Amino acid sequence: MAGRTLTVSIDAMGGDAGPGVVVAGLARSVIRHPNVRFLLHGDEAELKPLFAKRAKLLEKVEIHHAVERVRMEDKPSQALRRGRNTSMWRAIESVAKGEAEVVISCGNTGALMAMSMFQLRTLKGIDRPAIAALWPSMHGQTVVLDVGANVESDAKQLVDFAVMGQAFARAVLGLERPSVGILNVGEEELKGHESVRAAAQILRSVSLPIEFKGFVEGDDISEGTVDVVVTDGFTGNIALKTAEGAARVVINFLRAGLRRSLLGRIGALFAAGALIAMRRKLDPRASNGGIFLGLNGVVVKSHGGTDALGFASALDMAIDMAEADVLPKIVADHARIAEQATPESETAVAGTGAGAA
């Protein structure tokens, strides 16, 4: 993308709070990324008043009118039928037409995935996209995928997730040789269902720019034992929501404890710097944004209930993804696995039959 201005396409009408949060987050992002331009898709009658006190912001933003929106309660099939006039469809379409490098939405996850697959299609050799999330850990950040796109995943899909996750870690986190582990109920080779064991067998037998660590457990995610954790979307989504809830509980307990007494309040004053740093580290908004990996285009899903700070963080992620040019890396590494496939690994994949949701 040398010499070309990066363009981000935004579904302005998705999410629980509506376009107000999107525009407020956009105002933060423009300051952070002065060389990026934005295509904002949504109802002009709702969007233009939000720029009344932000006239300068319109220098970087182009509003594209869309008369309809995808509701959070819509089923993916319903959203596809209504599709072409919705802000979500139009936002994805901008990437499909080459008008933008990345699309971001706070809207309905199922609809966003369905519309993205319909318009962008999957990369060569990839059966199903996965949603990847960055997870704060003791050693920095951990890439976790899938966190919600596929309720069940067979061995081939888990291997695909590993390929996509390590390419993401190399491109966005700057890791030369990321470590990869498959989430399981134990580290022993005989534990877990057939799909995870078969996927591990394949990853041990192929040559990729990774360090495959075998199986990891739930506490290894926050510990940062590996750089990339691979799992199915059912397990990954529950783990993600559990971690977000636990972080909020810790912050609330700590705040309540420090306010309970005069001594606690005095102690909080002395420890203010450390407490602020911890709060920022645990704040889910700081790592908001799930990336749909495996598509012919970059799609980022922001949490539907986020605020302006969280949406700005998701925009940061979207811009980083576009600048890192991850997709060619995924295609190249997936081709390497196909070239190295052995009869034993193909038999292992054939023996697992979990379907994708």
Task: Give CATH for domain 7-120.
Answer: 3.40.718.10
Helices (H) and strands (E) in the chain, counts: 14, 11
| CB atoms inside a 10 Å sphere around CB 3 | 4
Which pLDDT score is estimated for 308? 86
Helix (H) or strand (E) holding 169: helix 155-172
Three-state secondary-structure class, residue 84: helix
> Span 236-253, mean pLDDT?
79
- Asked whether 110 and 148 are in contact (CB, 8 A), the reply is no
Q: What is the pLDDT of residues 27-71, one digit of tens each?
A: 998 888 888 999 999 999 999 999 888 878 888 899 999 989 998
Listed in order, the ranges of the chain carrying CATH 3.40.718.10 are 7-120, 130-284+330-350
Which pLDDT score is estimated for 155? 92
Topology of the domain covering 130-284+330-350 = Isopropylmalate Dehydrogenase (3.40.718)
Q: What is the pLDDT of residues 149-188, one digit of tens each?
A: 888 899 999 999 999 999 889 888 888 899 999 999 888 8
Tell which residue, 179, 193, 127, has the closest CA to residue 157. 127
Integer Cα distance of 145 and 188 in angstroms: 21
Q: Tell me whether residue 86 is exposed, middle or buried, using C-beta atoms within 10 angstroms of its C-beta: 0 to 12, 13 to 18, 19 or more.
A: buried
